[in-house]
């Protein structure tokens, strides 16, 4: 599959995600709103999976929108610059979630199917022939 990261580069990207998750956890321990809040909202970006009910193209767009650091860092930055603790905590949780997913090998999705990611095949797509 064209555009898929493999080998050492894939491992570096997964380790990078793990590092982002760790830093986000450390930041949340200092600036967060309590671990109960963290637990409640940690998987909120995964609500984008419902986009796949409208097909793989819409699903990939919805997933990529909520699993890209673009939105997460904008929310994080607004929380910092505008001194808004809820936004700060939300941005940290969002970054932690993305880092967690990337560490597990779940990358941004291609419209060709849920299992086709920039970090390689995941789920059922991994066992599909050719």
DSSP-derived 3-state class of residue 119 = coil
What pLDDT, in 10s, does the model give residues 81-117?
999 999 999 999 999 999 999 999 999 999 988 888 8
Any domain includes 125? no
What pLDDT, in 10s, does the model give residues 27-80?
999 999 999 999 999 999 999 999 999 999 999 999 999 999 999 999 999 999
Q: Residue 130: is its pLDDT beyond 80?
A: no
Any domain includes 42? yes
The total of other beta-carbon atoms located within 10 Å of residue 104's CB is 14
Q: How many domains does the chain have?
A: 1
Any domain includes 48? yes
Any domain includes 1? no
The total of other beta-carbon atoms located within 10 Å of residue 14's CB is 20
Any domain includes 85? yes
Any domain includes 88? yes
Any domain includes 77? yes
What range defines the domain where residue 83 resides?
11-17+28-115
Any domain includes 3? no
Phi, psi of 68 (to 5 degrees): -105, 145
């Amino acid at each position: 599959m064209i555009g898929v990261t493999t080998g050492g580069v894939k491992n570096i990207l997964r380790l990078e995600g793990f590092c982002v998750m760790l830093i986000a956890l450390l930041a949340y321990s200092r600036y967060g709103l309590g671990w109960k809040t963290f637990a409640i909202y940690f998987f909120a970006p995964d609500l984008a999976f419902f986009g796949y009910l409208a097909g793989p193209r819409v699903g990939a767009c919805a997933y990529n929108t909520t699993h890209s650091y673009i939105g997460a860092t904008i929310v994080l930055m607004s929380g910092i610059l505008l001194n808004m603790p809820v936004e700060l905590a939300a941005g940290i949780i969002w970054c932690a979630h993305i880092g967690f997913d990337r560490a597990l090998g779940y990358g941004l999705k291609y419209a060709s199917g849920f299992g086709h990611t920039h970090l390689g095949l995941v789920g059922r797509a991994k066992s599909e022939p050719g």
